[in-house]
Chain A
Amino acid sequence: MHQDPNTAATPVALADPTAEQAVRRALADHGRLTVDAMDVAPIADLYALGLTSHATVNVMLAIENDLDAEFPDSVLNRATFASVESMVAAAALATAQ
């Protein structure tokens, strides 16, 4: 399945509880997952758990709003939203901008 596009940033990003919290909250509020977003494994394939491309738009917006940051265009792809881990990595890029 899809891998984190920026593995180098992942360990640092996952250590960032703020970003992970924001991602999980956004998923809980807007992801329409079939499982509890607060408990889902960081590497679980969210598309297999009910995430749709329409829902990812709101998830993205909610994360951006929470972190007061904007995802760069370069990470706005399907792989970025495939897992909590990859979203946290992308969020790290967004907040670093």
Chain B
Amino acid sequence: MTDVAETTAPVLGTSPDRFAERTAAVAAVAAQFADEVDRDARPPREAIAVMREYGLLAAAVPLEHGGEGATVTELSVIATELGRACAATGMVFAMHQGQVMALWRHGGDGAGVLAMIDAVRDGALVASSTTEKGVGGDARRSTCAIEPSEDGRIRLRKDAPVISYATEADAVFVTARRDLDAPASDQRLLICRTDAIVLSQTSTWDTMGLRGTCSNGWILDAETTADAVLRDDYAAISARTVLPVSHVLWASVWVGIAASAAERARAAVRKQARASVGTTPPGALRLAELLVDLQLLADAVRHAAERFDAVADDPETLESSASALAANALKIGASERVTDIVTAALRIVGIAGYAATGPMSISRHLRDAHGAAVMVSNDRLLQNDAGLAIMTGAIL
């Protein structure tokens, strides 16, 4: 017999899995502080603390490094659940995972890299600094360079327009030119533990949505050792790991935002339906339509996660033009769809959804959702795609 819950539950990833209970516990904390985090544009510290405590930040650390070896599919489910509760919390989780996976996939076995893997296994939170003032948001080019210092160490100064949750992180992973003579595209990824950097704030993140990511601008001064540089060049790290994983996990968070808005829409329709049992209220049709979009979005995101897991150890496939197009397609498609779904939810809920606060408000969802298309501009991705599209088709 089919369980009715399979068709009525709006929640994704409800099937029992090894992270489900811990994820639910973190989500409960995240939900409790979501409105406050949004209002005050402050980091979701409580949720971060619980993510650390319950091992969610360490979830992907491979078994051979003492971790649980979570797949991207598992991380995707976690990201969605966190995003349902608090999009900022979900994004912190997603951005962290996109970085830390580079450690064991691309780091090599230098002492600095291995120590960082241990730190992540023990709950360290990792932020990232990829974009840079003067390169127009292109993460694949750097102005700053890794410079040798007098005592055999290395140093780096980067003027970063955004570093998300820098104040909460235990390390920041920073892209930079390989050395002072390297071209802008010859990048490396450098582990900067927060005890080895000085951050000077240059701007304040006061945005419409995703306010809790606290993506302030910073000048970052780091001094560390050469073994803190990951082995692979950043072109490979980006193509094989950071870009595909980040797009899947960000989109997973957006599914959570959309699912949460859909839940409020469903609650509103159910209330209308109770008022005249037997007559389907007009909102129910819109809700059904919304759920079509939400299901398509969720399926696309989960499928992309599973596809990554299937080719995770196949560099040739991951570096192909088709994979790059597919990763961008997920990002562009999911970010457009999430705003559509949340807007539809707002229309269904009506005035209570239009309210800035309250249990039926869609305000935070709508503002958070619009961040999706803006962070890493869809137009930039399309422009990148335009070159690839001439020679590559879709993965069918």
Contacts and interface: CB of A to CB of B under 8 A. Distances in A.
A56 B4 contact: yes
B181 interface: no
B1 A65 contact: no
Interface in B202-233: none
B273 interface: yes
Interface in B1-55: 1-5, 8-11
Interface stretch (B92-100, B252-260, B274-282, B316-324): B274-282
A76 B273 CA distance: 16
B278 A70 contact: no
A53 B6 CA distance: 13
**A interface SS class:** helix
A65 B4 contact: no
Interface in B68-90: none
Contacts of B347: none
B270 interface: yes
Nearest to A62: B277
Nearest to B4: A78
A58 B270 contact: no
Given A70-B270, A73-B11, A30 B5 contact: no
A81 B8 CA distance: 14
Nearest to B3: A77
A2, A64, A73, A79, most chain B CB atoms within 10 A: A73
Contacts of A30: 277-278
Interface residues of B, number: 15
B277 A78 contact: no
Contacts of A57: 273
A10 B108 CA distance: 60
A65 B3 contact: no
B51 to A, nearest CB: 24
Nearest to A53: B4
A81 B1 CA distance: 13
Given A61-B270, A73-B11, A76-B9, A29 B277 contact: yes
B277 A61 contact: yes
Contact of B274 (A53, A56, A65): A65
Q: Which 5 A-B pairs have the closest CB atoms?
A: A77-B5, A65-B274, A78-B4, A61-B277, A62-B277
Given A64-B274, A76-B9, A78-B5, 12 more contacts: A2-B1, A53-B4, A56-B4, A57-B273, A62-B274, A73-B8, A73-B9, A73-B10, A76-B4, A76-B5, A78-B4, A79-B3
Interface of A: 2, 29-30, 53, 56-58, 61-62, 64-65, 70, 73, 76-79, 81
23 contacts: A30-B277, A30-B278, A53-B4, A57-B273, A58-B277, A61-B270, A61-B273, A62-B274, A62-B277, A64-B270, A64-B274, A65-B274, A65-B275, A73-B9, A73-B10, A73-B11, A76-B4, A76-B5, A76-B8, A77-B4, A77-B5, A78-B5, A79-B3
